Amino acid sequence: MLKRSLIILLITLFIFGGLFGLKFHQISQSAEAFKPPPPPIVAVTEVIQEDWPSTITAVGSFVAVAGIDVSSEVTGIVKAIHFESGQTVKKGQLLLELDASTDRAELDGLQAELRFAEVRFDRSAQLIDKKFVAKSIYDQNKALLEEAIAAVQTKKTLIDKKMIRAPFDGEIGIRQVNLGQYLAPGSAIVSLQKLDPIYIDFTVPERDLSGIKINQQITASIQAYPEQVFTGKISAVSPALDQDSRSVKIRAVLGNKMRYLRPGMFAQVNILSQQPLKVLTIPDTAITYNPYGSTAFVVVSGEQGFTVQNRQVETGITKAGRVQIVKGLNQGEKVVSAGQVKLRNDMPVTLDNKPAPGEREGQP
């Protein structure tokens, strides 16, 4: 009987011991689950000052040095066309003739009247010395002669205006008239553009005005020839700023012997300066871009270790994977360069002993 009681007691103790051990293990597991996770490990970089080439960028549009729609000053019927669309022409080259047959016939009549007026005046001039004609007759014949000369000159000018010539060297566009067409004054005949050299007009913000000088070098690139870089110099700066945009208009002149550049083309303009620009920079991976602005996590050292502060920053130009910091950070401050997604304000962090992946080139 005693033996049976001992066996039952041992079995009972074993069961209670097993239950107690299982419960203790469950409690330990629960406590482990509620244990706070370790601080996240982040890569850190430092805000440094660099000397960058001082370059101002803008978007410009090409403008011909001289560009017009050739037109007629007088009315007439197109008699002859002396050019082809797309042709290169020289200053004074005859482009188009209007019918002037009626004007030439009238000119013959006016020249005959001029000859008669000359004879009449010469006769009165000879007789006036001998007092055979009155001074009033002499004055009248002189006035008639001058009137005849003016009439002939006027008609010659009208005929000359019907011979339409190129006012400067340039490239002819698409012909807009045909033989036999009636032209009213001001009717467009063809576009004429002087392409070499060529202007480019662009604007820069007020803050960049101090970096703009006459004869300063610029480069331009266009989509039509993406591998070509065109160089020129600033030729004019507007004396006044636009009151709405607070920007200044600038004109540069570029050589264009190959005729790659055409009026109306857009171009990316870079204005080069000999003075380097001192800028604060950080890797572009350290910036978080949001609709409300750009931010960066700044690492702060305290008694309890390192924490991060989310700070608003103003960025500038980007170059070779680094971004300019205009406002919000100071030189020497440490910022998180990788791992920002898991961070929040005042969160403790552990600093990685290696730089961010994008900065590890050349690291052991």
Could you read off the pLDDT of 158-191 as tens digits, one per residue? 999 899 999 999 889 999 999 999 989 988 999 9
Rg of the chain over all Cα atoms, to the nearest angstrom: 44
Cβ partners under 8 Å of residue 192, min gap 6: 67, 68, 69, 70, 89, 166, 167, 168, 170, 171, 172, 173
The answer to whether 236 and 248 are in contact (CB under 8 A) is no
Indicate if the pLDDT at residue 4 is higher than 60.
yes
Residue 306 belongs to what H/E stretch?
strand 305-319
Tens of pLDDT, residues 261-272: 999 899 999 888
257 closest CA partner among 306, 194, 308: 194
Which CATH superfamily hosts domain 57-64+196-272? Efflux pump adaptor protein, beta barrel domain (2.40.30.170)
Note the CATH number of domain 100-161: 1.10.287
Candidate from 103-107, 272-276, 310-314 with smallest mean pLDDT = 272-276
Listing DSSP states for 166-231 in one string gives -SSSEEE------TT-EE-TT-EEEEEEEEEEEEEEEEEEGGGGGG--TT-EEEEE-SSSTT--EE
**pLDDT for 34 beyond 70:** no
Interior angle at CA 309, CA 330 and CA 289, nearest 5: 80
User: Which CATH number among 3.40.50.720, 2.40.420.20, 3.40.50.620, 3.40.640.10 corresponds to the domain 41-51+277-359?
Assistant: 2.40.420.20
Q: Hey, where are the domains in the chain?
A: 41-51+277-359, 57-64+196-272, 100-161
Kindly give the pairing relationship between strand 348-351 and strand 41-46. parallel
Residue 354 has pLDDT above 80, yes or no: no
Residue-wise pLDDT tens digits, 206-221: 888 877 888 989 999 9
pTM of this prediction? 0.58
